[in-house]
Amino acid sequence: MKTKLSLGLLSLLLATLSAPFASTCMWQPGPQDNWALFKDRFIAPEGRVIDTGNQGVAHSEGQGFALRLSLAYDDRATFEQVWDWTQANLYVRGDALAAWRWRQGGNPSVDDPNNATDGNLFIAWPLFLAAERWQEPRLRARPGDRAGDPQ
């Protein structure tokens, strides 16, 4: 009871304090509108998720996050774009793990072949869920298997 009251008061306080700024906020009232804004701002047409706060690099974590959001909004076209880019650009290590960072204009674009465990988990989770939702067993295969990795 005490927690519900506290959360209710906190919600009321936040709504009151944010009201003057609502007209200048870029987020929209509907979830689909916010997904469209997110895609426009952070996902390049080729499927790369752009880290606007870090010189435009792409991270395995961001790619996985976009895959999960695409699935949540049942946006298969964006899911496929993000997954295709991720496979082509981050699965360059020779195993079934994604490199953690890609730099636009870098030579090479993946200058640090290490992986990030959270990024690999963020990618694997929506792939598994998408395989179930869209009845696509290929999404359950390890990325390295698609690239010819014998492991």
Query: Which region, left, alpha or beta, applies to residue 119 given φ > 0 means left and ψ of -120 to 50 means alpha?
Result: alpha
Q: Would residue 132 show up in a list of annotated catalytic residues for this protein?
A: no
- How is residue 127 written in tokens? 């792939």
Cβ atoms of 91 and 147 within 8 Å: the answer is yes
Cβ atoms of 54 and 110 within 8 Å: the answer is no
Cα of first residue to Cα of last residue in the chain, in angstroms, is 54
The three-state secondary structure class of 112 is coil
Q: Would residue 111 show up in a list of annotated catalytic residues for this protein?
A: no
Q: Which residue of the set 61, 75, 112, 136 is catalytic?
A: 61
- How is residue 150 written in tokens? 């014998």
Q: Which residue of the set 33, 118, 132, 145 is catalytic?
A: 118
Alpha-carbon distance of 151 to 144, in angstroms, equals 8
C-alpha radius of gyration, the chain, whole number:
19
Active site residues: 61, 118
